[in-house]
Amino acid sequence: MAETKTKPKRVYKPKAEKVAQPKRVGPPAGETIPRAMLRTIVGVVTSDKGNKSITVVVDFQTKHPKYGKYLRRRTTIHAHDEKNEAKQGDKVELAECRPLSKTKHHRLIRIVEKAPELAVQVSAEEIMTGKAPEAR
């Protein structure tokens, strides 16, 4: 005959008493602790078509390891613009942050310089005749 195994009875041990952890003390109400200096990058906005997203091109120079010539390079960065305030052509300052999406790892700190207003495009007809074209 096959013997059946029986489980041994479980013995409950008394739990150790929890030791009170000291509460974390922060700054007084209304005050903030200054954050560490963020690594910032300055670039030019190339696209602001996404909602709360901008594409920024950052130009930089790097020295060739063998020949010593300085090479111009650029990188494209996707950044988070919470208020949709940056427009195409603006010079902006970005800071690194946690990943916000697959490609967004930076956020807009401030607009360093606004882009100049787009000039009114003058048609060839206006130049040749000296007056504005008729409304069609």
84-117: per-residue pLDDT in tens? Answer: 999 999 999 999 999 999 999 999 999 999 988 7
Pick from 127, 92, 128: which is nearest to 112 by CA?
A: 92
**Burial (Cβ within 10 Å: 0-12, 13-18, ≥19) of residue 56:** buried
Cα separation, 49 vs 127, in Å, equals 33
Residues 36-90: pLDDT tens digits?
677 899 999 999 999 999 999 999 999 999 999 999 999 999 999 999 999 999 9
> Tell me, what's the pLDDT at 5?
76
Per-residue pLDDT at 135 exceeds 90: no
Cα separation, 96 vs 78, in Å, equals 11
Per-residue pLDDT at 121 exceeds 60: no
2: its two tokens: 């096959």
> Tell me, what's the pLDDT at 15?
73
Amino acid identity of residue 37, one-letter, is M
79: its two tokens: 């950044």
- The total number of residues shown for the chain amounts to 136
Q: Give the predicted TM-score (pTM) of the model.
A: 0.61
pLDDT band at 11 (very low <50, low <70, confident <90, very high): confident
Contact in structure between 90 and 115 (CB atoms under 8 Å): yes
Pick from 52, 114, 54: which is nearest to 83 by CA?
A: 52
CB-based contacts of 47, cutoff 8 Å, min separation 6: 54, 55, 88
